Every structure is written in C-alpha cells, then in structure tokens.
Amino acid sequence: MPGPFVTGERVTTPAGAFNPTFQRHVAAYRTIAPLLPEEGEVLDLGCGVGHSFRELEPRITVGVDVSAAALAGQQRETHVHDMRELPAGWDRRFASLVSVHSIEHVTRPGQAVAEIARVLQDDGVAVLVTPNRLTFARPDEIVDPYHEIEYDTGTFAALLEPWFHEVELLGLHGSPRYLEFQAGEKARMDRLLGLDPLGIRHRLPRRVMRFAYDAALTLSRRDENPQAAAIEVEDFRLGDDAVAESLDLVAVARRPRR
C-alpha cells in the first residue's frame, strides 16, 4: 500500500527508503553530543519534529522551530521562533547550541549566526551541521527547493568566523554501503533532471518546485527497500579527515564575539 505524502522540508520518518536520511540525522546528533559541555541547557535550533534530541541526554534541551506542528508533542520545552529572531530575554542563556540541517533553509543566515552568538554563554559551544554542497546533490545547482544556500568548507567557515573567535570544521562520513545507496539516489536524480534539458525548473515558482520535489520524493521512497533498510547509525562517523569530501559539514564554534 502506498505510504503517505511526505514533504522534503524536514526529516520525519525512517520508513521505507527514507531510513538512510533519518539515520544520517540521528548520527549527526549522536556524534556531536561529546563535543558539548556536560552541564547547562542546549538550544536545539531548527529542531523539526525532535526525532533525535534524546541523543543529547542527560543534558536539558530546548527546541526551537518555525513550525508549531513540528513541535507538537515533544516532551521538552519548545518555542515557535524564526532562528533569525530569538527572544530578547535569551541573552547568554545557553551553555551550548546545536543546529542540524537547518542553516541551509534560511535566507540572511548571518543574522541567524548573530543570534546564535547572542544567546550563548561566553564559554558556550555551538555545533552546526549542514549538507556539504560538493557531495550532497550537484555542486553547480541547488536541487532541493527547501534549501536557500548550500555550503562548502570555505563558505561555511566564512559564515561563522565573524561571530566566533574559534571555528573548527569536521566532517560526517558514510560507510561504503551508505555511499553505494547515495550513488543510486544521485543516479535517479540525474535521470529525472535529464528530463528537463532546457532548465525550465529554474523559472518555476518555488511553491511549484516544492510540490514537484515532494511528489517525486514520496514516489521514489514509498516502498520498502532492503538496501535502505540496512543503513544504521553506525554507518556514519565524525572525523577531521577529508572534510571537503564529507557528507555533512560540522562546524564547532567557540567563544562568541560580543
């Protein structure tokens, strides 16, 4: 039986062929947890449905997202806010902050980073995770219509350095079987984009592209896929090697500039 219509805006389910992406997000939370202070509150910025915040326990997390529907039912403190306009009363509130696959969704990302620096304590740590533009889809085109800006190592560091004294870049890498699955996904995407050799998609309204993207995503991933089902959190690792070739870029930003 066909599964439900799924939006590509945020990760919501490990069902069917969505499992590799879901596990990749869980792995991001799990692998960055040791980088955070053990004490104090963690702001989970752009948290979506909160599928992985428990990976940060026993720390207390506070979830923020622009969607009230995404936050509904989460067993923690949550707030509906744009990451570029956090509450004025949150100055220096948080010991740490995580933002997993969120910064690529906003225009004026520098404003979001300024807010991140503002709400962190003086010795706070922010960890931001974003898809690597060079390995995610196509380096010369933003295919995902929910993404506003995609980053490579240079542009990601340049975004954060004006607001933090220390910025370290790491990479989330995939196992051979994950990379094999990803290669298949890219091949399917290339075949689909090949149906539009004139680039008409670039002239369509964003709402139309999002509907088409969601429909294609739902159709391609609705059925059970043994290759996809085999992917686990352990298929990903965080490291400081070959960062430019990683799946996701992980920025560890310390000592916010005031």
Locate tokens 């709402």: which residue? 207
**Over pLDDT 90: what percentage of the chain?**
85
* Confidence class for position 16, pLDDT limits 50, 70, 90: confident
In what order do the strands lie in the sheet containing 236-239? 77-80, 61-65, 42-45, 94-100, 120-131, 248-256, 164-174, 236-239
For residues 98 and 36, the answer to whether their CB atoms sit within 8 Å is yes
pTM of the model: 0.95
Q: What is the pLDDT of residue 8?
A: 79
Residue 73 has pLDDT above 60, yes or no: yes
Whole-number average pLDDT of the chain: 94
224 CB-near residues (< 8 Å, 6+ apart): 16
* Confidence class for position 4, pLDDT limits 50, 70, 90: low
User: Mean per-residue pLDDT for 201-208?
Assistant: 94
User: Mean per-residue pLDDT for 129-137?
Assistant: 96
Q: What is the pLDDT of residue 1?
A: 38
User: Mean per-residue pLDDT for 176-192?
Assistant: 94
Task: Give 93-125 pLDDT, tens digit per residue.
Answer: 999 999 999 999 999 999 999 999 999 999 999
Of the two residues 152 and 221, the one the predictor is more confident about is 152
Q: What is the pLDDT of residue 2?
A: 47
Helix, strand or coil, per DSSP, at residue 249: strand
Rounded to 5°, the CA angle 241-159-91 comes to 110
Fold entry, domain 16-256 = Rossmann fold (3.40.50)
Q: What is the pLDDT of residue 223?
A: 72
**Over pLDDT 70: what percentage of the chain?**
98
Q: What is the pLDDT of residue 15?
A: 81
Task: Give 34-64 pLDDT, tens digit per residue.
Answer: 999 999 999 999 999 999 999 999 999 999 9
236 CB-near residues (< 8 Å, 6+ apart): 23, 24, 27, 28, 31, 172, 173, 174, 175, 178, 247
Measure the CA–CA gap between 23 and 118, rounded to whole angstroms: 31
Write down how long the chain is: 258
Q: What is the pLDDT of residue 258?
A: 84
Measure the CA–CA gap between 129 and 132, rounded to whole angstroms: 9
Residue 176 has pLDDT above 60, yes or no: yes
Query: Which run of H or E residues covers position 169?
Result: strand 164-174
Residue 163 has pLDDT above 80, yes or no: yes
